[in-house]
Amino acid sequence: MSKPVADIALIGLAVMGQNLILNMNDHGFVVCAYNRTTEKVKSFLENEAKGTKIIGAYSLKEMVDKLKSPKRVMLLVKAGAAVDAFIEQLIPLLSPGDIIIDGGNSEYQDTDRRTKELEKKGILFVGSGVSGGEDGARYGPSLMPGGNPKAWPHIKQIFQSICAKVNREPCCDWVGERGAGHFVKMVHNGIEYGDMQLICEAYHIMRNGLKLNPEEMSQVFEDWNKGELDSFLIEITKDILKYKDEKGYLLERIRDTAGQKGTGKWTAIAALDYGVPVTLIGESVFARCLSALQSERIEASSVLQGPDAIYQGDKKQFLEHLKKALYASKIISYAQGFMLLREAAKIHNWNLNYGGIALMWRGGCIIRSAFLGNIKTAFEKNPKLSNLLLDDFFANAMKECQASARIVVSTAVTLGIATPALSTALAFYDGYRTARLPANLLQAQRDYFGAHTYELLGQEGKFVHTNWTGHGGNVSASTYDV
């Protein structure tokens, strides 16, 4: 048998897989490429990988035989059953201490389960978030590995070589145990949903309310990208707005129904499961659901009345308010995302490095933006920070921007322009800064109709029931919650 030569194998030759292989090759690693449809291996070696050190395999056994020990196998296949199927086929071919890495968008509970199951067989499993799209995969993604910590020393060099760098610091570090890497990637994608929806609402206000043309809007985003809103998504929005083909501006001809692959929905579900008010990501998912009802919306637009949406004030001044509202809302979205990370870490006993996570997101990934450095600083200053909004930098930013957020949301309401994400950001901010919320009435209502009990101020921990009507009983409900 020939001597093993490959440093790592990668299964799955779709665009992300191919680009990651080429990236690894660029950094001096010998990669063995494999795909279930073996013609793809042949085509890849003869075309994109031609003239490189990349080798191919036409069976899983041949692939494993070409690997140096410990054998490292990375999967970039569809999440779910396909990952489990490949793991089942790989187990008999691998030895204790070998490593399987899942680089797809797997659900974190699946990664949790796989890490535990493979640990019993002596195989080290890693679930890694990979962000940055095809360009990131090719030239430097953000990587978020978690799983069995014993695997990290054996994959660290490869991962930190191929990832994006900011100020020469790698946008990749060990995230935490079991499903932590994929959970962090899921929250990253949820924040991405929020960022995109906020930008879409700003665009909607500019287009329908201020009646700006695509060139003017592109210029606004270009200006915004020079300041605190400097980010990948603002930058690409500027390019999208001014893109023209032979028929004119392309954006105005794109159908307004958005799809989703599930990670935003998973974030919203996790938020509900853990009781964390991640309202902005939730609204962003629902906004996509509403966009999908296009035929109903077209019918409703001819039946349901609303105001005529034209802004009458100073447009330049309003755009300054819109910039600040977008910035404030973005801060709230990230604050909510980190609240969810903190709660999940507590429940799963993950030792997450929050500043490190912010640093991983500064380059290579879709939500990369200037103020992630400020998030890292906030957690460095206070690793036990309960909420980003309580850090001086972010508290001051909100103080500076919240009046503008109120102007933008109230203006959008009077113009009849839907701003679910901008509105919920402000509602969360006001709720979070309110010492006394009306939940006392809610508790009274629950006790009135269902004898669910309540606590009195100053007597926390003691649950009491009132016979509100005089003809109810004194027995309280203890078996269910409403």
Do 142 and 131 touch, CB atoms closer than 8 A? Answer: yes
348 is in an annotated binding site: no
Q: Which of 376, 187, 184 is nearest to 282 (CA)?
A: 187
Verify whether residue 283 is a known catalytic residue.
no
Start-to-end C-alpha separation, the chain: 66
261 is in an annotated binding site: yes
448 is in an annotated binding site: no
Verify whether residue 192 is a known catalytic residue.
yes
Q: Which of 240, 239, 430 is nearest to 328 (CA)?
A: 430
35 is in an annotated binding site: yes
For residues 395 and 112, what is the distance between their CA atoms, to the nearest angstrom?
36
133 is in an annotated binding site: yes
36 is in an annotated binding site: yes
Q: Which of 52, 50, 73, 51 is nearest to 4 (CA)?
A: 73
16 is in an annotated binding site: yes
Pick the catalytic residue: 185, 238, 324, 330?
185
14 is in an annotated binding site: yes
17 is in an annotated binding site: yes
Element at 145 (helix H, strand E)? strand 142-147
13 is in an annotated binding site: yes
Pick the catalytic residue: 192, 201, 228, 283?
192
Do 327 and 254 touch, CB atoms closer than 8 A? Answer: no
474 is in an annotated binding site: no
Q: Quick one: 245 exposed, middle or buried, by C-beta within 10 A (0-12, 13-18, 19+)?
A: exposed
288 is in an annotated binding site: yes
Do 291 and 421 touch, CB atoms closer than 8 A? Answer: no
452 is in an annotated binding site: yes
150 is in an annotated binding site: no
471 is in an annotated binding site: no
| 134-to-11, 16, 170, 243, 295 alpha-carbon distances in Å | 16, 5, 19, 20, 33
Half-sphere CA count of 364, side-chain side, radius 13 A: 35
164 is in an annotated binding site: no
Q: Which of 306, 283, 121 is nearest to 196 (CA)?
A: 283
Active site residues: 185, 192
Binding-site positions for substrate read 105, 131-133, 188-189, 193, 261, 288, 446, 452
Q: Which residues are annotated as a binding site for NADP(+)?
A: 12-17, 35-37, 77-79, 105
Provide the annotated binding site. 12-17, 35-37, 77-79, 105, 131-133, 188-189, 193, 261, 288, 446, 452
